[in-house]
Amino acid sequence: MSTTNVRIRAELLLLVAFCGFLFFYGLGAFGLVGADEPRYAQIAREMLDRSDWVTPTLDGKPWLEKPPLYYWQAMLVYGVARRFGAQSGGKADLHAALADSVDEKTARLPDAIDAVLMIAAIYFFLRRFRPGSEVDGAVIAASCAGVIGFARAAATDMPLTATFAIAMLGWYGWYESRKRVGLIVFYVFLALGMLAKGPIAPVLAAVIVILFGVAVHDWECAWQTLWLPGIVLFLIVGLPWYVAVQKRNPEFFRFFILEHNLARFSTNVYHHPQPFWFYLPVFLVAMMPWVVWLIAAAIERVRLLWQERRTAERSSDDIWAIFLLIWMIVPVVFFSASQSKLPGYILPAVPAGALLVTDYLVARRDEKVAFSRSLAILHGMACGSLVFGALVAGTIAAKHHLTASEGTYVAAVVGAVFGLAIAIAVAVKSGPRLVRSATMIAVIVSVAAVIRMAAPVMDATQSARGVAETIRAFSREPVPVALYHVSRVEEYGLEFYLNRPTQKYDEGQVPGESHLLVAANADSGFKQMLDGRKVSYLTSIPAQKLELYWVAK
């Protein structure tokens, strides 16, 4: 076996182990949280139960807010899990196997797989077009806080980010080599991006390509991108579902395009207002722990490009840097103009930021240029802050703020030790060769701390999994469940974990039969809605300020 093959196998083994830990370790350590995770997971389960690959439904009603890529992926994972569960459990355990196949692990698995595919694409792209930087690029992209967080969530943000990143890498591969295979990758994955989250994928790609052409004075690259076979491929992959769902649901165009795309962008109809600058700190946090190098790389590249703005010929490194800057900036600026802002919207900018950091660090390593002491200290502080944040995440999840306690002081000391050690390692002459390994250690420790220490607290305080388990402890048989003054987070979570709709007292839905009621803690106003029916207190769930009652028929 050649030395090159040995090296490649070692690199791939490193990436498999690293990504396996970051994206898959403890994937079910805490239950589904927020409103989106349980809602999307339940939609995929209902589609699979009906064998319907066209119309997403929730509680049996069409749910047309998002395209189906995540649902399709989850359906495949659920189906495989059910098949293996049924085969391993035998006939006696068939019902339990079918029930257990859909859980937080299988719901989150599609996003973890998408993240792996994106990292693999980055590795092979860099190996082909920027040899020597492939491991750095893959590791840096995989270890960004935004990538790790959304790779472990049952949501649509990572499917969009992965498909969009692969599409943009394919386009730049075509631009540099002029081989049509790059355009094929571009159009196919852009279509998948449209199936992940809608027309935002081709819109962002078009803006990036046009601005790039303007920046490098290559006015024809945008027109040359409009390759007829590629456009046909895009339509073949991306259009059939849109036609099918519109045919089955005539309200789809109005609801999805007009309300959940145009209205969501131009108005605050869905109540996610944030200031214009909201995405700047969000993006910097998403780039942790590489944020110091990102700022340094962006400043240096902008300075060099400004100095060389009148140069007739640009190097391939300059053109690559321009492409990454535009790719990184466009999603942040675009969504900053939106009236509805959520953190996951700018995730497609993170891979570009990671590649920009890679370009900066690899150049210094190859040129054997040591880092300045100030940058080394700042990077050490970023890594130390990451470790500290991971260690106190459980406290913040439980109390919604940081407390002055012995645990907090210990976490601060541990974080400071990590920060100091990494700063020293990066500040030495061989720092450019050590920065990747030293930072990997901080990231691994941080993820392990969150899974081992914060996950149980998050499960108890922010997931409906424990509430559902308490309900099952009182009644193994499915009974009607009603809610009173309970947020939609608990509502969607309970509907996923119980796999049945709930009824809402707040909307006048008081079941006539005996049922279990989940009510906000210390709020007994629901009793006046029951016309004297017998109400029995069952238990309380202090972590989520909920109480359970049995309401007789």
269 vs 422: which has the higher pLDDT: 422
| Interval 1-26: pLDDT, tens | 577 778 888 889 999 999 999 999 99
d(CA 411, CA 62): 47
Asked whether residue 356 falls in the same domain as residue 221, the answer is yes
Mean pLDDT of the chain: 89
On whether both 358 and 399 belong to a single domain, the answer is no
Torsion angle of the four alpha carbons 188, 194, 197, 199, in this order, in degrees rounded to the nearest 10: 150
Whether residues 237 and 346 fall in one domain = yes
Residue 69 lies in a domain: no
| pLDDT in the model for residue 32 | 94
Dump pLDDT digits (tens) for 431-465.
888 999 999 999 999 999 999 999 999 999 999 99
End-of-domain residue from the set 319, 347, 367 = 367
Task: Return the H-helix or E-strand segment holding 503.
Answer: strand 503-504
Task: Print burial letters for 195-225: b (CB count within 10 Å at least 16), e (below 16).
Answer: bbbbbbbbebbeebbbbbbeebeeeebeeeb
Residues 6+ apart with CB under 8 A from 421: 380, 438
Q: Are 390 and 536 within one domain?
A: no
SS3 labels along 282-312: HHHHHCCCCHHHHHHHHHHHHHHHHHCCCCC
Structurally, the chain folds into a number of domains equal to 3
Which domain-ending residue is among 318, 343, 367? 367
Structure tokens at 276: 């214009």
Phi, psi of 520 (to 5 degrees): -60, 145
**pLDDT tens-digit readout, 482-504:** 999 998 889 999 999 999 999 99
Of all residues in the chain, the percent with pLDDT exceeding 70 is: 93
Pairing status of strand 546-551 against strand 535-541: antiparallel
What are residue 549's DSSP bridge partners?
A: 517, 537
- Is residue 126 predicted with pLDDT exceeding 80? yes
- Banded model confidence at residue 90, pLDDT cuts 50, 70, 90: very low
- Does 304 lie in the same domain as 160? yes
Does residue 175 sit in the same domain as residue 301? yes
Position 474 scores a pLDDT of: 85
CB 105 within 8 A of CB 74: no
Task: Among 314, 343, 367, identify where a domain stops.
Answer: 367
**Best CA proximity match to 473, nearest among 516, 504, 503:** 516
* Residues 168, 231 share a domain: yes
In a shared domain, residues 228 and 324: yes
Asked whether the predicted pLDDT for residue 309 surpasses 70, the reply is: no
Secondary structure (3-state) at 77 = helix
Print the domain residue range for 486.
465-551
Does residue 195 sit in the same domain as residue 325?
A: yes
3-state SS assignment for residue 90: coil
Q: Is residue 92 part of a domain?
A: no
| Whether residues 427 and 501 fall in one domain | no
205 and 308 belong to one structural domain: yes
Q: Find the Cα–Cα–Cα–Cα dihedral 350, 353, 358, 359, rounded to 10°.
A: 150
pLDDT digits (tens, 9 = 90+) for 259-279: 766 656 555 555 456 777 888
Tell whether the model's pLDDT for residue 91 goes beyond 50: no
